[in-house]
């Protein structure tokens, strides 16, 4: 029976059984949720139930994640119902994609999880069109003087770029692969190099924001962002750095990105070891009040497992065993009751806003799902 459980990495039998049982609970809940939720775009819950963020704010950066969960589960189970709802969500997003002026750099998060995933799994031509349109929007935000992708749209934020954008770069690598247009690849590489220089610190911690003069491209300063403040260490930003740099290595095979991912991972692991393997919302914040962010741990798990794909055999266990420790720590925050929406609670969007601090957040569920599927070799690459 045990031999039948396929693992991507070497693991003892207790861990194999643990993961297989975790997957069974996850699959059962996601299956019931799929029947109940249809094609909504969840963000967080209200009174224990998801609301449809697509109706309130179609351009929200988080609107692709549930679709990403559906495509992962379609790939893992081949159950048609996941695909049906995922396709509907992708179509619902067309209004935002066509208008496009209200979109920002997070088109990567939005369309990697929808149209790119669909195209990779089904070869749907319309999905390819959507994906390339989204990639063009992202490429159009590149500032050639400062070598950064502009994050947001407000006129006073023309020179702002953020660590999160590393996760949008795979959309450009996808577009390069489909078109052979090197412009996409050059932009992705230039932006990743900018992040190494201005966002990631030598000790593996990182700034959330870098501000440039949009006209000359000159670096001005770093700013605090969704973490505690200036020079702090926002844990989800740390997770974006781990995973984003590991992905930059996947698409370029330039060792400096893998080394950066490892440095950021070592910093992250040293910090979570101080808090029972759960990420604080910010690793450099006052001891009280103590806020955690489970989404940071979930995202970091996938980043650690991405690093594990590329390191020599004897180096893998650091990343695989650490990710398993994180999953076991996160289980305390998981709800597998099929009558309630969402799995992972205690996710935090930002330090200074209580409305979505320590609450269920959809990207926590996405990364948790991807992490479990990765370990069981049932995932496919959305990024």
Residues that bind ligand GLY (CB under 6 A): 61, 164, 226, 236, 349
Q: Which residues of 342-351 are buried (b: 16+ CB within 10 A; e: fewer)?
A: bbbbbbbbbb
Q: To the nearest whole angstrom, how small is the minimum distance from the Cβ of residue 182 to ligand GLY? A: 27
Q: To the nearest whole angstrom, how small is the minimum distance from the Cβ of residue 96 to ligand GLY? A: 16
Distance CA 128, CA 117 (A): 10
Q: To the nearest whole angstrom, how small is the minimum distance from the Cβ of residue 105 to ligand GLY? A: 9
| Sheet hosting strand 209-212, strand order edge to edge | 160-162, 209-212, 219-223
Q: Which is nearer to ligand GLY, 226 or 369 (CB)?
A: 226
Q: Which is nearer to ligand GLY, 319 or 363 (CB)?
A: 363
Strand partners, 280: 292
Q: Catalogue the E-assigned strands of the chain.
A: 45-46, 49-50, 142-143, 148-149, 160-162, 209-212, 219-223
Q: To the nearest whole angstrom, how small is the minimum distance from the Cβ of residue 226 to ligand GLY? A: 6
Q: Which is nearer to ligand GLY, 225 or 324 (CB)?
A: 225
Q: To the nearest whole angstrom, how small is the minimum distance from the Cβ of residue 132 to ligand GLY? A: 22
Tokens describing residue 319: 């990343």
Torsion (CA) 114, 116, 120, 124 in degrees, nearest 10: 80
| CA 35 to each of CA 26, 40, 51, 70, 75: distance values in angstroms, whole numbers, following the listed order | 14, 11, 15, 11, 17
Q: Which is nearer to ligand GLY, 164 or 370 (CB)?
A: 164
Distance CA 275, CA 96 (A): 40
Q: Which is nearer to ligand GLY, 349 or 376 (CB)?
A: 349
Q: Which is nearer to ligand GLY, 23 or 65 (CB)?
A: 65
Q: How far is CA 360 from the centre of its chain?
A: 15
Distance CA 265, CA 297 (A): 11
Q: Which is nearer to ligand GLY, 153 or 179 (CB)?
A: 153
Q: Which is nearer to ligand GLY, 23 or 109 (CB)?
A: 109
Q: To the nearest whole angstrom, how small is the minimum distance from the Cβ of residue 364 to ligand GLY? A: 11
Distance CA 273, CA 61 (A): 30
Report DSSP state, residue 280: B
Tokens describing residue 156: 């006073």
Sign, CA dihedral 242-248-251-255, equals negative
Q: To the nearest whole angstrom, how small is the minimum distance from the Cβ of residue 213 to ligand GLY? A: 24
Q: To the nearest whole angstrom, how small is the minimum distance from the Cβ of residue 357 to ligand GLY? A: 12
Q: To the nearest whole angstrom, how small is the minimum distance from the Cβ of residue 65 to ligand GLY? A: 11
Q: Which is nearer to ligand GLY, 164 or 282 (CB)?
A: 164
């Amino acid at each position: 029976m045990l031999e039948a459980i396929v693992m991507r990495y070497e693991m003892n039998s207790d861990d194999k059984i643990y993961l297989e049982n975790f997957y069974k609970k996850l699959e059962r809940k996601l299956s019931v949720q799929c029947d109940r939720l249809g094609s909504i775009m969840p963000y967080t819950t209200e009174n224990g139930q998801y609301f449809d963020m697509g109706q309130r704010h179609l351009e929200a950066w988080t609107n692709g994640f549930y679709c990403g969960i559906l495509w992962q589960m379609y790939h893992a189970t081949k159950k048609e119902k996941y695909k049906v709802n995922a396709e509907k969500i992708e179509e619902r997003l067309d209004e935002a994609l066509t208008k496009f002026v209200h979109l920002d750099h997070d088109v990567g998060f939005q369309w990697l999880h929808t149209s790119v995933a669909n195209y990779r799994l089904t070869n749907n031509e319309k999905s390819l069109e959507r994906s390339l349109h989204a990639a063009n929007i992202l490429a159009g935000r590149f500032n050639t003087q400062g070598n950064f992708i502009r994050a947001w749209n407000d006129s006073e934020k023309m020179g702002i770029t953020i660590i999160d954008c590393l996760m949008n770069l795979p959309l450009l690598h996808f577009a390069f692969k489909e078109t052979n247009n090197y412009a996409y690849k050059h932009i992705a590489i230039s932006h990743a190099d900018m992040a190494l220089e201005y966002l990631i610190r030598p000790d593996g911690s990182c700034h959330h924001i870098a501000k440039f003069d949009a006209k000359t491209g000159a670096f001005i300063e770093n700013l605090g962002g969704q973490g505690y403040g200036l020079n702090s260490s926002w844990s989800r930003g740390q997770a974006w750095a781990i995973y984003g740099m590991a992905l930059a290595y996947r698409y370029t095979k330039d060792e400096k990105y893998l080394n950066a991912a490892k440095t950021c991972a070592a910093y992250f692991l040293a910090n979570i070891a101080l808090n029972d393997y759960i990420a604080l919302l910010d690793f450099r914040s006052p001891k009280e009040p103590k806020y955690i962010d489970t989404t940071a741990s979930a995202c970091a798990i996938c980043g650690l497992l991405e690093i594990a794909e590329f390191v020599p055999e004897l180096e893998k266990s650091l990343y695989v065993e650490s990710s398993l420790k994180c999953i076991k720590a996160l289980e305390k925050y998981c709800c597998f009751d099929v009558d309630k929406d969402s799995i992972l609670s205690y996710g935090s969007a930002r330090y200074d806003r209580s409305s979505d601090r320590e609450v269920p957040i959809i990207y926590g569920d996405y990364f948790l799902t991807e992490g479990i599927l990765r370990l069981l070799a049932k995932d496919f690459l959305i990024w």
